[in-house]
Structures are given as structure tokens and as C-alpha cells.
Amino acid sequence: MAAKKLLIVESPAKAGTIKKYLGSEYNVLATGGHIIDLPKSQLGVDVEKDFEPKYITIRGKGDLLTKLKKEAKSASQVYLATDPDREGEAISWDLAKALSRDPESDCRVTFNEITKNAVKAAVKEPRSIDMDLVDAQQARRVLDRIVGYKISPILWEKVKKGLSAGRVQSVATRLICDREEEIQNFVPREYWSVEAMLTEPKSKKDFAAKYYKDGKEAQLESREEADKVIAQASAAEFTVKEIKRGKTKKNPPAPFTTSTMQQDASRKIGFSPYKTMQTAQMLYEGINIGGKYGSVGLITYMRTDSLRISDEARAEAAAYITENFGKENLHVRQYKTKNNAQDAHEAIRPTSVNIRPQDIKDKLTNDQYKLYKLIWERFLASQMSEAVYDTVSVKIDAAGHEFRTSDTAISFKGFTLIYTEASDETEKKAKKLPKLEENQKVSLKSIEGKQHFTQPPPRFTEASLVREFEENGIGRPSTYAPTITTIISRGYVARSKKQLVPTELGMITNDILKSNFNDIVDVEFTAGMEEELDEVAEGHVRWNKVLEDFYPDFEKNLENAKKAVEKIKIKDEESDVICDKCGRKMVYKVGKFGKFLACPGFPECRNTMPIREGTGAFCPKCGGEILAKKSRRGKVFYGCENLPKCDFMVWDQPVKGEKCPECGGLLLKKNGHNGKIFCQNENCSYERKTGK
């Protein structure tokens, strides 16, 4: 029997999909990510010997590595098909060394999408391992290890055990802390606007017009100034002086990159960056959708900042659009990728537009369906015609004071037939203007001044922080989601109604890093470091050179910080909950799974409790209060306080202080686009829309 070829991937799910494509001639195995790494117990980098890393087999991966060696020894050919990015290249290099394969041989296989054609084509064109990509990843790994392992002990000693500093996470924390300082230091400025409600005499239709000064909407400094305009305009005739009609076009958005996918998924379907990437990974690795496709990867590789689209994908999209929307809605485009983007693979798109979301909805989880639909619609829209709008802008004179109004109406829908950007969905629809003519008199119905105050900059959301990362060149697409997850889990930042708010711990840690390691938390320095790593990836700079340039100043800062940073005691926030073991008031702590209550008497008393979050609604089974809880996967559910004695549990939020008007049962609230309030009693049909 002929020896099989061995193909090694990272993910077991991907291995199963690929095995079906390649058949019995191949043995397909998965590494489950990295097999070697720097040791956790020590720095693992010899700074005296050209920053030589000391790699070891990751605990728990020994048996797997033994199995891979055995399979490789008997295989006729070994292909390393880890993910098509720098990290994947580094894992392939580790595998080549561990399996005694020559990295310069044709052993590396990459595919941007996991479809039968793509996988079969890829194994026919193996290449050598790209050492420039490996070196860039190694430089990043060593750099991050030095920063984390050298600064963190100072934070443990001076502030609190268990803290960590990281090259990218520290900059992310600084962005959030600096924004909070801007908000706290913001001094609002008062200003006034003037708005007139006018009536067109023939149609008797009312419309609003705003007061303009020097070509822009006026921001008057005081009420007196606004009252003066109101008095003069009220005594005058309002005359239509100018009407301009025109057309504007709006181009469709480009297909998704990692960053734009995370931002749109946050705004449109409420996904965190982490959840977006987790779901995208499943869509990429392969899902069994049955029929002629079977198990197939539904999207292309999801870690990319490229906007490139293959000719085949554009041709398939063009055929679909022509057939389903008409040729007038087709506009085939190739988008230009930013200069600093890595163009190794395509933008994120469906592997086939003919696999429509609605056709496979029953084969996907709800989260998979939502994200796939978003990716599918965005890609298709990117190849469609512009939307065209009819515009009208009107200038109205009243005793030398200018008022303006405008209207926009869509005349050709184009790409908006299938996709609207998240920002568009929140825009208020313009009120339709009556038919107006130049030199026409319109009557004044009312006029008023409105007081306003300038607003501080908004706190970051996860979506806007991702955009900030991208715009400032902080990290790479693969680091956005884990960076946000890390700063929240470390307790530096907390979520509050989708906003990211720095904690006291985050502010203190940020101040220490700014005072003693300013380069580490400097946005421009961090972006410059990313550019240097790109230079390594392109073969222009030795990876060690990046470390050689960085380390001397960093080492000086370390020594100074050890002496300069004073010990800081952070007082834990006290709760009203009494420890049922020793009687002390319990305090709030932050752990791996978020906030919890702990006894301040540690280590004498080690009592901990989850934080009780009441709903004010009561269990229909036993009368206990219904509490908000979290599942192991972090999803909120609602259960009786007497769990597990009472097994009452629901996913929808109970309504406080109101019972079903028909049966007296518990009312539940379902949020979202089709939100409603309904009776929990399955024998009762009462329901109403939210807001009524």
C-alpha cells in the first residue's frame, strides 16, 4: 500500500473539511495552534546573545508532537498548511524543524478559502517557507515577551499582583484613559441656534428652516443675540431667494477587511470584536451545508487588511447581480488597498455568492447566519451601482437674515437595494419639502431660539476603538479583538452600556507607564514599530535589528522605574454585602470572568460570591426574585434566586412591576429590531410591541 501524503493544519474543524476534499490519498492532522512557544516560567530570551529565543514544546502538546513525527516519518510527502499569515508561517517553520523537514523545500501550502477547488489547487503549488514572514513574527513575539516580562514585575511590586503590561494592550489602555481625561477636563460652551417653522401658502404645508451666518449654520453666543435675530426676522417677510436642484451619488462601501467587519458587526448586529472573529473563524473553517456543497468554508480568510478581490469572485458577483437585480445595478470594481496594508490575501468575502444566506439559514447557528449575511451583502453591494439622490437646497431671506432648508430623495437605489451602512440606518429621514419657487413669499408660523452646549468627545466603543487602532497603525488585524479582551479581563477597562470606561486600576497603571515608559504607550512609537515589523516581513531589515534599536533605552527606563515608582495601595470598592462566614463587608474584585465579591479578610477568610443583579421581577414558580446571571459562555440569562432548588430560567428579560393583563402571568421583554413584550405563560397569547 502506497504511503499517504500528510497535510498539517491548525484547526481540527478545518482538518475535517479538507480531508473530505483530498480523499484517501491524504492524512490530514491539526496542531490546535502553536506547538512550541517561549516558556511561561521565565523570560526565555537571551538579550546578551542577539535576543536568541528559547522555545519549548507547549505543555500538553507532547503526545501530539510525537504523533505528528510518527506520521511524518511514514508519509510520502509532508505539507504544512497552517493559516496564511505571519503567525501561520511561524507555526509551519516550527513544524518543519520539529519534523526534520527542510524549510527551503516545497513544503508550505496556503489557501485563502477552504473550498474544494482552492484546496486542490493549493496542494499542487507548494512553496518554501517564507523566512521573512517568520522573522517578522519572531521579532513581534520576542518584543512582546520582553515588554511584558520586564515591566509586569514592577507593576506587581508597586501596585498589585497579577497585573500585566503589554506592548499593544498598554497603548489601547492609554487611548481609553486619555479620552476619559479629555471628558473630565472638558468645559462646555453655550451657544444658540434659531429655527423658523414656515408655511407654503398654496399647499399649506409646513417646513423648517435654520438660521445661517457666513455660509454655515449659525452658533450664536448668547440668548440676547438669538432674540435679536428672532425679533428682526419676525417683523420681516420671508422670501425664497434661491433654489438649487441637483443630484448626488453615493458609492457602495468596499468589501470587508478585519477592521471594518468588526466595526459593522458591532454596530449592526451587536457583536463584540472577539465574538465576530470567533464566528468568522467557524465560517472560514467549514460548515456542512449539505446538498452539492457538503462541508465547505463559507468565507475567505478573516484576518486581512486587503481590499483585493479575485477576478473569479468579481465575475461570479457580476453574473449574480445581473440575473437578480438587472444590469443597471451592476458596477464591477476593484478597490485600492491602503499603502501600509498586507496584501497577501483577499478582502473578506463569501467563497461563492451563489450560497445565499437565506438558503442555508437552517444549517447555521443564529450568530453564524447573522455574520454570514452581513459579509455576503457587503461583498455583493461592493460590486453594485452607486445610489443616486435628488437634492434640493433652498435659501430664504428675512430682513437680511438667511435661513436654509434642504431635502434629499433617492432616485436610483443601486447598492442600497441590498445593503445600508450602519451609520445610514440611524439617520433621520428628511421631512419632504413642499414645492417652492424663487421669489415666492412664505409665511412665518413660529420662530424660536434653542440653547445648546458643546459636547465632550464620546467614550470609545469597541467598534470605534478598532477604528482608532486601524487609523493609527496600532497592531494588526489579528490583534484587535484579543487586545480589547485582554484590557477588559485585566480590569483596566470596563464595559458600560457599550462604552469602554477606564477603571481606577487602569488610570493608575497608565500613569505609571506614561511617566516611566512613555515610548511603550506612545501611539506614534507603537505605529512606527509596526512599520519596522513590516520592513522585516518584506526582507528589508534583520529581525534582531528591531530589538537592538529598541532595547538599550528600554533597559534604562526599566532601571529608573524600579527606583522612581512609589508603592501604590489601591483600595478595593466596598459593597453592602456581608460575608456570611466572618461578618466583614465584602469588596468587589475583578477576575478572569469579570467582577465578583470577595472577603477582604483574605487569606484568613477565602469566601467569594457572585454579584447579585436583581431584576425586580419575581419567579412565577416560587416567588423568589429573578436574577440576571451569565452562562459559562458569557451569555446573559435570567433565573430564580433559589436555583437550583427552583429550576425557573428564561433567556428574555423579565418586566419589572407589571403583570400580564390577560392572565396575571410574568411578562418578558424581547429586545432587537422586532422587540416585543409577551406573556411567559405558554397558554396565554398576550403580546405587544415595545414602547407601547
Task: Give the integer Cα–Cα distance in Å for 347 and 111.
Answer: 14
What is the identity of the amino acid at 120? K
The x, y and z cell numbers of residue 257, run together, are: 477587511
- CB neighbourhood size of 141 (10 A): 21
Say how many C-beta atoms besides its own lie within 10 A of residue 686's C-beta. Answer: 14
- Check if the beta carbon of residue 691 is closer than 8 Å to that of residue 671: no
Cell numbers for 80, please give them.
504544512
Whole-number Å distance between alpha carbons of 301 and 348: 6
- 3-class state of residue 249 by DSSP: strand
Distances (CA, A) of 402 to 83, 201, 209, 251: 61, 20, 9, 32
User: CA–CA separation, 117 vs 352, rounded Å?
Assistant: 12
Contacts of 325 (CB under 8 A, 6+ apart): 384, 417, 418
Q: Which of 21, 79, 301, 480 is catalytic?
A: 301
CA angle 368, 377, 408 (to 5 degrees): 135
Residue whose cell numbers read 478595593: 572
The question of whether 492 is a catalytic residue gets the answer: no
Which conformational region is residue 667 in: left (phi greater than 0), alpha (psi within -120 to 50 degrees), or beta?
beta
Retrieve residue 650's grid coordinates: 428564561
Rounded CA separation 83/99 (Å): 18
**In sequence order, what are the residues at sequence separation of 6 or more whose Cβ sits closer than 8 angstroms to the Cβ of residue 70?**
none
Residue with cell 534604562: 556
Angle between helix 462-472 and 477-489 (nearest 10): 130
Query: Using CA atoms, how far apart are residues 610 and 593, in angstroms rounded to an integer?
Result: 10
Q: How far is CA 588 from the centre of its chain?
A: 28
Q: Any residues with CB less than 8 A from the CB of 412 and at least 6 apart, and which?
A: 385, 386, 387, 388
| 84 contact partners, CB below 8 Å, separation of at least 6 | 110, 111, 112, 301, 344, 345
Rounded CA separation 243/133 (Å): 59
Residue 268 identity: K
Q: What's the CA gap between 499 and 459, in Å, rounded?
A: 6
C-alpha cell belonging to residue 153: 514585575
From residue 411, alpha-carbon distances to 267, 389, 406, 619 in Å are 27, 5, 16, 54
d(CA 295, CA 118) in angstroms, rounded, equals: 14
List Cα–Cα distances, 570 to 247, 295, 493, 505, in angstroms: 60, 53, 15, 7
| Residue reference for cell 450560497 | 355
Distance CA 64, CA 51 (A): 29
State the cell numbers at 346.
483577499
Q: Are 449 and 230 in contact (CB under 8 A)?
A: yes
Q: How far apart are CA 382 and CA 253, in angstroms?
A: 6
Distance CA 140, CA 305 (A): 18
Distance CA 178, CA 532 (A): 26
Write out the catalytic residue numbers. 301
